[in-house]
Amino acid sequence: MAEIKNHRIPVYAVFGTVIFKLLFLLTHYIQEDAFITWRVAQHLMDYGVIGFNGPEKISASTTHLYVFVSYLFNLIFGKENFIEPLLIFNSVLFTLGSLFLSHLLLKNAWHKAIFIFLIGILPPAIKISILGMEYGILFFLEMMLLYYGFSKGKKWVQIVLPVLILFTRVDTVIFLGIVFIIDVLWTRKIRWTYILGGILGVAGVLAFNWLYFGEIVNNTIVAKKLAYDKQYTFHQNFDNFLENFGNFWGMLKLPGDFNPLTVLLLIFEWLCFIYLIRQKEKRNFFLWIIFIFGWIKQIIFLSQKSLFDWYYWVPQILLFAPVLLFVLEQKQKRNLWLSLLILFYIIPMLTFQTVHSIATGNGEWNYRRTIGLFLNTYEKDKNQWIFLEPAGYVPYFSGLKTIDEVGLVDKKVQDEIRKDKKNFWMNTVKNRKPKYLLSYDDLFQSENAEYLKLHYKLIKEFRVKDHLKSNYKILEKIYILKPSGSDYNLYERID
């Protein structure tokens, strides 16, 4: 009976962790890209087409599976009420994924419970849970594959889960490939069922892209590669690396600062990993997988100058897992080690993320969302076009058809970039004549001011400083300490 009760302790930790993290829903910190996925899901409801503008098909969202999950939540809860249930669902899935990971790496039930909670309140884990993106379901599927597919040897899992994982994100081929390579090196045999799952997954997602969208690679990948492709000198590459170092391997992102805390964490992660793999245990197989994956994924994305921090959330968590393992399994002075870790790392990280979530939630939900709400009231004809960047909050809450400067939701922008990258923005304005322009800049002071003054008028200015107030003084202090967002100018066509 005591053994059964102990088995429930990690499950209780899952519930406790999820409930604790629900407090972060109050910050309304939701990633811009989540609203792209949710608009695509609602577009599927309204038009029966996976797209963004009218009946045109386009893979505007990075993730196919999460689009369908979001579609179901919209269907069940309605467009006005689906966000909170979906964020809770994401949080539950992520925490269940950490439960699977704890089963792979630990034996003691109490150690598993502590592991689940401490992993769950790390900054990337909080962001995976509440920002509305697909990484909750992705982490759940990947850890489920390792636990049931490779620890328990369930062959159906080895076939089915690679398909679901690849339909969540195409770049998960990196994770699946590393699992395959390490499994072959470790066991000296090939799991043909896993190969079948991989083949079905790759063939399935490519076939779906080709048959439905008429493309092999998701439009989001093509658009970002085209828009962000720049030639860097060695000096520029090095400066870029220093500015984003904390984004790659650490928990803190401090632009313009090398961030020595990240260096210390990186060294400590390696020392813990080396210490653990020297012990002859079966779990080393999974330690090798998560650690090698964490490094390879980040190196590949770093080499491609992919600086969006969500690419690094899962690797950051997996690379930190050996640190928790090392601390929890200290036979002498474990409590001291754990106390020091919590006091000097976990709590500061949690505090940092809390401040960041409150400030960024204000900048996104309380500020950027108001631009979309203003346009929703101002413009009743939802067939009118707006040209802006990015294509998340404002298009979602305004309901307007959208041209974005990267080409994520409108392929014609990509054609303009290919023809004349330097002047693509102005060429798009002249050729497409969108009714609204939303810009960071004062367009009437730009080099194209003469044309823009002739055809557009400024109708409203949106300023971050106007949204740094709160009835609660502590919130106002956080808003002022870390103002989030950008100033915008909204223009309307006059002819």
287-309 confidence digits (pLDDT tens): 999 999 999 998 888 877 777 88
Instruction: Say yes or no to pLDDT of 281 above 50.
Output: yes
Instruction: Say yes or no to pLDDT of 245 above 80.
Output: no
Mean pLDDT, rounded, for 147-157:
97
Residue 1: predicted pLDDT: 46
Q: Which amino acid is at 55?
A: P
Mean pLDDT, rounded, for 10-31:
96
pLDDT level of residue 495 (50, 70, 90 thresholds): confident
Predicted TM-score (pTM) of this structure: 0.94
Residue 237: predicted pLDDT: 74
Q: Which amino acid is at 131?
A: L
Percent of the chain having pLDDT more than 90?
81
Q: pLDDT, tens digit, for every residue of 392-450?
A: 999 999 999 999 999 999 999 999 999 999 999 999 999 999 999 999 999 999 999 99
Q: Which residue has the higher pLDDT, 263 or 186?
A: 186
Separation of alpha carbons 334 and 111, rounded Å: 11
Separation of alpha carbons 162 and 328, rounded Å: 32
Contact 333, 452 (CB under 8 A): no
Q: pLDDT, tens digit, for every residue of 220-233?
A: 888 888 888 777 77
Computed over every residue of the chain, the mean pLDDT equals 92
Instruction: Say yes or no to pLDDT of 51 above 80.
Output: yes
| CA distances, 380 to each of 222, 395, 439 (Å) | 33, 14, 21
Percent of the chain having pLDDT more than 70?
95
Separation of alpha carbons 162 and 140, rounded Å: 12
The distance between the two most distant Cα atoms of the chain, rounded to a whole number of Å, is 81
Residue 259: predicted pLDDT: 67
Q: pLDDT, tens digit, for every residue of 165-187?
A: 999 999 999 999 999 999 999 99
| CA distances, 170 to each of 64, 218, 232, 298, 366 (Å) | 9, 8, 27, 16, 33
